Structure 1
């Protein structure tokens, strides 16, 4: 009978070992599934990151083009501004326009001028006598 006890204990131990091996296999399978899931997630994140990187590079390129265009426009405006009249020049032009403005200036006719000259001549002649 002692032999039977040993044989019974052997299958029980074997069963226990089998159960443990199955549990370990199940754990390994779950770990493999998690790893696969993580790998897929990483691949998806890498794809998303590449898309975002490309998008950002395109936006940066667009901004560079816009800045270049703005710089060209500014240079064109600066070249044209050299031809503009300065503030001092505009003030001089205004002064000359005010001088010859018929609404604000007092002009004399030819006859009035001749009369005035004659009067001045007479007054000068009187003073000399």
Structure 2
């Protein structure tokens, strides 16, 4: 059964219109996807730049911390050298004992006059 050419043309026009509509929808979806990809690219680019900036800050802080640690190491070495030169507890106790021994306030020293009198008495007895 042959169809009338008008019906065939009408069906073809309908199909073409439907296909055109579908193509238009697909193009719109592609445009939306391209916009989304573009936004994502920009977002990723911005985040990468922010990460680079953060890494530079972290790196400068690490350099600063390393410098401070070097200074602290140097100061500790100086302190250790000075501690090696400092007197120990035992040495301080020995100095205290020696000072107590020769301290005129706590020790009993003989004056010249007392010694002369003592020697004169000893010589008289002998």
2:55 corresponds to: 53
Alignment TM-score, normalising by the size of structure 1: 0.85
User: How many Å separate the matches in 2 of 1:81 and 1:37?
Assistant: 64
User: How many Å separate the matches in 2 of 1:120 and 1:93?
Assistant: 36
Q: Which runs of 5+ in 1 are unaligned?
A: none
Q: CA deviation at 1:122?
A: 6.2
Q: Which residue of 26, 29, 50 corresponds with 2:28?
A: 26
Greater mean deviation of Cα atoms: 9-18 or 22-31? 9-18
User: How many Å separate the matches in 1 of 2:88 and 2:124?
Assistant: 48
2:16 corresponds to: 14
User: How many Å separate the matches in 2 of 1:46 and 1:120?
Assistant: 104
What is the 5 A alignment of 1:66-105?
A: 66-105=68-107
Q: Which runs of 5+ in 2 are unaligned?
A: none
